[in-house]
Structure 1
Amino acid sequence: MMLNDFDGLLHAAGQQAEPQRLLFVFARADLPESPTSDQHDRHASGEGGTLSPVLCVDKAPHEVTSFAALAAESGNTGMNWDVLFVAAMDGRAGFAPSSDEAARPLQLMVNAINDGQISRFAAFGRDGNPIQFY
């Protein structure tokens, strides 16, 4: 599914046959160890680098009113981030997954981002606009 904005993701989560639990991983864009001058230049222009998860949380879709609200809440942690990755978990028999059930998938999501396996997640920049990685 192509997302035009974060609100579209929230709307899509609310339209699923089973209740959803949203998984959020906030990541910071860093330079790799011993970066080249080209890597410095690309990073300075907002390209390249490595993504390091710095914060993660799970929420029911109704607990997230907007991207701005989620970003403001993340600001309360003092953690700086550049990219928000999002995944969803399906509920069963009309019941949404609990936070306890989301803990393992959230950790697997963090591991996948650390390994550079990000294509299966929706991604948004600090401005709330979708990001596509090439």
Structure 2
Amino acid sequence: MQISNFQDLLDAATLQCAVQRLLLVFAGATLPKGASAQQRAEFEAGHGGELDPLMCVDKLPQELSSFSALADEADQLMRANQQYWQIVFVASLSGSSGLPPSPEQAEKALTAMVDAIRGGRIDGFIPFNRQGAAVNLQAG
């Protein structure tokens, strides 16, 4: 199944034989340490930077009514810390024996996911922009 938006992901997750738990890491753009003048100028123009994980959460697909509701919830939680996300990375964790993965399993997987994103290893995740469209991120 081609996943081009968040609803496609929800549909795919509900079709799986094993119960899925979605892992979501919200990331914001920051300037890298020691950024050059050119990097700073590009960043100010809305290009470049690094993705910094700001918040992570796990949800069952049925807990998500829409991408808009998820984005609003994330915005409300981050607004208190004056944080703003640009991309949400999503992965799925399969349960077994008809049960979803435990909160402990989800926490361990989210920690690994955050570490991977910080290290620039994003191949196993689907990134979505603020409108819920899947995006292709290029290193550079």
TM-score, normalisation: structure 2:
0.89
In 1, Cα distance between equivalents of 2:64 and 2:45: 31
Residue aligning to 1:98: 102
CA contact (8 A) 1:67 1:128 kept: yes
* Structure 1 pair 2–41 and aligned structure 2 pair: CA distance change class (3 A): farther
Residue deviations 1:77-112, cap 9 Å, x none? 123111100000001011111222211001000000
Quote the offset at 1:51 in angstroms.
0.8
Map 1:3-14 to 2 at 5 A. 3-14=3-14
Aligned-residue offset at 1:48: 2.1
Letter in 1 for 2:37: S
Gaps of 5+ in 2: none
In the alignment, is the contact (CA less than 8 A) between 1:59 and 1:99 conserved in 2? Answer: no
- Gaps spanning 5+ residues in structure 1: where? none
Q: How does 1:1-134 map to 2 (within 5 A)?
A: 2-77=2-77, 78=79, 79-134=83-138
Describe the SS at the equivalent of 1:22: strand
Aligned-partner Cα distance in 1 for 2:137–2:10: 21
- Cα distance in structure 1, aligned partners of 2:37 and 2:65: 41
Aligned-pair distance for 1:61?
0.5
- Determine helix, strand or coil for the equivalent of 1:76: helix
- Following superposition, the deviation at residue 122 of structure 1 comes to 0.3
| RMSD (CA atoms) | 1.4
For normalisation by structure 1, the TM-score amounts to 0.92
Q: CA deviation at 1:40?
A: 2.5
Q: 1:66 to 1:117 in 2, by over 3 A?
A: same
Report how many residues are paired: 134
